[in-house]
């Protein structure tokens, strides 16, 4: 075990994967940084600091700085994967899936099924997402809901350094395309990370806390907000189960249903807007499959149905926070 933050865990995992497997390549804008400049390659090492040191070690043939061309970045990753490589492609901001949407949803997602199982497309698309930097409407979105809706894509959203490593390694060993969502506000989060080839299977939720009175399913950054709310509730003797699904596709339905069967109460916390969200999806799942266990209607704590505003006062109001989660938990307990 080594203590490190999410940023370093991702960096280390990519380093180890590239050392282990020559078919792993990384491509994206400024992932090395400084190509064609006097400062030279590696002037930056990725604007998020997640690809530091890679180009120096593995060279520009494997750590590829690309022009600003997201369709070509993702499409090239697809073609390389169909040809036997294991590309990792970085979208500097998850919002840019708007630019390369076709490659993600009509191409990568379809190959394995559409080609009768004779193709594999093991790409890892790294999508840096989430609000919290006042980066406004086009640089803040939590778009995992969109890609979770597409059959053929796996969607991971790690919240701890250990899971960042474990899920990334799992992605690099599977045969399916993985949309790997990294929350900007979680990069600095520290934790223990197992050494060596640590893998976390997809579709297995992490029980972040056991409390027994109310089930909170929280996504991405919302896990830490749920933990804060649960701390306050604990002072009043209210115990929360907090489930971090870790992957939204595949989704660990069993972990959620098992918990709700115990608690009879569900709160889902999701940074995306409410319509067609992972929150509404989990709400529907529980309504369908755990109906008789429910003691209160499921509560969905989500962002509002608006683009993400710039002004700090508005952005703070946009992102679901601990007080809203706490209030939702109390509503499930007060119901009826």
Partner 1 sequence: MDYTREGLLRAYRRMATIRQFEERLHEEIAKGEIPGFTHLYCGQEAAAVGVCEHLDEADKIVSTHRGHGHCIAKGCDVIGMMKEIYGSREGLCKGRGGSMHIADTSIGMLGANGIVGAGAPQAVGAAIAAKAAGEGKVAIAFSGDGACNQGTTFEAMNMAVVIDVPAIFVFENNHYSEHTGDSYAVATGNDIASRAEAFGMKVWRANGSDFHATYETMAKLLDYVRQTGHPAAIELDTERFYGHFEGDPQRYRAKGELDRIRDERDALKTFRKAPSTRELLEEGELDAIDKQVAELIDRAVEEARGAARCDPSQIDEDVYAAY
Ligand X SMILES: Cc1ncc(C[n+]2csc(CCOP(=O)(O)OP(=O)(O)O)c2C)c(N)n1
**Minimum separation from the CB atom of position 39 to ligand X (A):** 16
CA proximity to 272, closest of 203, 219, 196: 219
Among the listed ranges 48-56, 78-86, 91-99, 197-205, the one in contact with ligand X (CB under 6 A) is: 91-99
Class of residue 237 by CB neighbours under 10 A (exposed 0-12, middle 13-18, buried 19+): exposed
**Which is nearer to partner 1, 33 or 161 (by Cβ)?**
33
Give 47's contacts (C-beta < 8 A, 6+ positions apart): 30, 33, 92
Regarding 29 and contact with ligand X (CB under 6 A), the answer is yes
Question: Measuring CA to CA, how many Å separate 51 from each of 31, 34, 133, 169, 291?
Answer: 6, 13, 21, 16, 46
Regarding 61 and contact with partner 1 (CB under 8 A), the answer is no
Provide the b/e sequence for 227-236 (b: ≥16 CB within 10 Å). bebbeebeee
**Which is nearer to ligand X, 76 or 226 (by Cβ)?**
76
Contact residue for ligand X among 99, 119, 234, 317 (CB under 6 A): 99
**Which is nearer to ligand X, 212 or 307 (by Cβ)?**
307
Residue 305 among the catalytic residues: no
The DSSP-derived string for 249-306 is ES--HHHHHHHHHHHS-EEEEESS-STT-HHHHHHHHHHHHSGGG-SS--EEEE--SS
Q: How many CB atoms lie within 10 A of CB 108?
A: 29
Contact residue for partner 1 among 38, 235, 236, 334 (CB under 8 A): 38
Contact residue for partner 1 among 1, 37, 106, 210 (CB under 8 A): 37
**Minimum separation from the CB atom of position 48 to partner 1 (A):** 12
What is the Rg, in whole angstroms, of the alpha carbon atoms belonging to the chain?
20
262: left (phi over 0), alpha (psi -120 to 50) or beta: alpha
Give 78's contacts (C-beta < 8 A, 6+ positions apart): 103, 107, 108, 111, 121, 123
Among the listed ranges 16-24, 200-208, 235-243, 301-309, the one in contact with partner 1 (CB under 8 A) is: 301-309
- Residues 67-86 vs ligand X: string with x where CB under 6 A? -x-x----------------
Contact residue for ligand X among 96, 144, 180, 225 (CB under 6 A): 96
Question: Measuring CA to CA, how many Å separate 100 from each of 76, 81, 227, 248?
Answer: 11, 17, 35, 21
Regarding 36 and contact with partner 1 (CB under 8 A), the answer is yes
Instruction: Give which of partner 1, ligand X, none residue 312 binds (C-beta under 5 to 8 Å, depending on kind).
Output: partner 1
CA distance linking residue 331 with residue 336, whole number of Å: 10
Instruction: Give which of partner 1, ligand X, none residue 33 binds (C-beta under 5 to 8 Å, depending on kind).
Output: partner 1
**Minimum separation from the CB atom of position 56 to partner 1 (A):** 14
Among the listed ranges 9-17, 81-89, 104-112, 127-135, the one in contact with partner 1 (CB under 8 A) is: 127-135
| Contacts with partner 1, residue ranges (CB under 8 A) | 29-30, 33-40, 43-44, 47, 65, 67-72, 95-96, 98-99, 133-139, 274-275, 304-307, 309-314, 316-318
Task: Using CB under 6 A, list all residues that contact ligand X.
Answer: 29, 68, 70, 92, 96, 99
Instruction: Indicate which residues carry an active-site annotation.
Output: 139
């Amino acid at each position: 075990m080594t203590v490190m933050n999410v940023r370093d865990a991702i960096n280390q995992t990519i380093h180890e994967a590239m050392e282990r497997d020559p078919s792993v390549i990384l491509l994206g804008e400024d992932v090395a940084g400084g190509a064609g400049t006097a400062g030279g390659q590696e002037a930056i090492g990725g604007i998020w600091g997640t690809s530091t040191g890679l180009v120096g070690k593995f060279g520009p043939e494997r750590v590829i700085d690309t022009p600003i061309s997201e369709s070509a970045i993702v499409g090239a990753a697809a073609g390389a994967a169909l040809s036997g490589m294991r590309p990792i492609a970085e979208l500097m901001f998850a919002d840019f899936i708007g630019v390369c949407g076709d490659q993600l949803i009509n191409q990568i997602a379809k190959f394995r099924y559409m080609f009768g199982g004779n193709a594999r497309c093991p790409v890892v698309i790294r999508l840096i997402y989430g609000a919290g930097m006042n980066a406004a409407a086009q640089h803040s979105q939590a778009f995992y809901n969109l890609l979770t809706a597409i059959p053929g894509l796996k969607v991971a959203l790690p919240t701890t350094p250990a899971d960042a490593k474990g899920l990334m390694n799992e992605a690099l060993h599977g045969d399916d395309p993985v949309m790997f969502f990294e929350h900007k506000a979680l990069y600095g989060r520290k934790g223990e990370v197992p050494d060596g080839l640590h893998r976390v299977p997809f579709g297995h939720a992490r029980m972040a806390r056991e409390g027994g009175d109310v089930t909170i399913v929280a996504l991405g950054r919302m896990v830490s907000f749920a933990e804060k709310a649960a701390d306050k509730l604990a002072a009043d003797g209210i115990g929360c189960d907090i489930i971090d699904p870790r992957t939204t596709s595949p989704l660990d339905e069993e972990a959620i249903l098992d918990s709700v069967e115990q608690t009879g109460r569900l709160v889902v916390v999701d940074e995306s807007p409410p319509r067609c969200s992972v929150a509404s999806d989990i709400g529907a799942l529980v309504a369908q499959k755990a109906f008789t266990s429910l003691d209160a209607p499921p509560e969905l704590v989500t962002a509002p149905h608006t683009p993400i505003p710039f002004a700090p006062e508005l952005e703070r109001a946009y992102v679901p926070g601990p007080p809203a989660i706490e209030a939702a938990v109390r509503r499930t307990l007060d119901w009826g």
